[in-house]
């Protein structure tokens, strides 16, 4: 009986150790990120900013097009959203990377907290010259915006930028 209990204890402690190690390795910041082409405006009553799809006819929304990047921390650890940038397919001046100066960055996102960051639509999106759009945190982590979202931004930019100009 003593031998059985010793083996049983060794098995249970090994399983517990493995589970704890697995949980601790996977316990890191996780984000859900999306990007869309939008027009921005302010509400009449309280002056709060809003973003709307460019195909909607809203009187308070302006004509200028913006790219709105939404980041939500879905992990159990807080993360510091440090910056936003991307890479180009063809660099006109030799630099393939670009950064976007954000209004609210850097920002620490707590668990289940989100933030919208926006910037004006640039001709590099209309010309389909953006290879990758991504965000980074304070410790070197990078998260890409999906290729599907990037293709949708480029398609919408081509469609609505002609109407705006």
Q: What is the pLDDT of residues 49-67, one digit of tens each?
A: 777 777 777 777 777 788 8
Q: Residue 15 has what pLDDT?
A: 93
In residues, how long is the chain?
Answer: 165
Distance, CA of 40 to CA of 49 (rounded, Å): 7
Q: Residue 44 has what pLDDT?
A: 76
102 contact partners, CB below 8 Å, separation of at least 6: 83, 84, 117, 119
Q: What is the pLDDT of residues 73-131, one digit of tens each?
A: 888 888 888 888 888 888 777 788 888 887 888 888 888 888 888 888 778 777 778 88
- pLDDT, the chain, mean: 83
Q: What is the pLDDT of residues 124-150, one digit of tens each?
A: 777 778 888 888 887 878 888 899 988
Q: Does domain 29-164 have CATH number 2.60.40?
A: yes
Q: Residue 76 has what pLDDT?
A: 80
Q: Residue 12 has what pLDDT?
A: 93
Q: Residue 165 has what pLDDT?
A: 46
- The model carries a pTM of 0.73
Measured in whole angstroms, the distance separating CA 36 from the mean position of its chain's CA atoms is 11
- Return the higher-pLDDT residue of 96 and 47: 96
Q: Residue 139 has what pLDDT?
A: 80
Q: Where are the domains of the chain?
A: 29-164
Distance, CA of 106 to CA of 58 (rounded, Å): 31
């Amino acid at each position: 009986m003593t031998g059985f209990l010793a083996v049983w204890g060794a098995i249970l402690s090994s399983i517990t150790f493995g589970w704890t190690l697995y949980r601790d390795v996977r316990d890191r910041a996780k984000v859900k990120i999306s990007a869309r082409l939008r027009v921005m405006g302010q509400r009449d009553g309280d002056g709060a900013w809003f973003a709307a799809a460019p195909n909607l006819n809203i009187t308070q929304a302006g004509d200028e097009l913006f790219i709105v990047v939404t980041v939500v921390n879905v992990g159990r650890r807080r993360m510091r959203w440090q910056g936003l940038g991307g890479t180009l397919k063809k660099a006109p001046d030799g630099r393939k990377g670009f950064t976007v100066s954000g209004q609210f960055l850097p920002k620490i996102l707590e668990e289940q907290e989100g933030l919208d960051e926006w910037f004006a639509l640039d001709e590099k999106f209309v010309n389909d010259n953006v290879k990758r759009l991504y965000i980074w945190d304070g410790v070197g982590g990078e998260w890409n915006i999906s290729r599907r979202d990037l293709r949708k931004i480029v398609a919408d930019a081509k469609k609505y930028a002609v109407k705006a100009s």
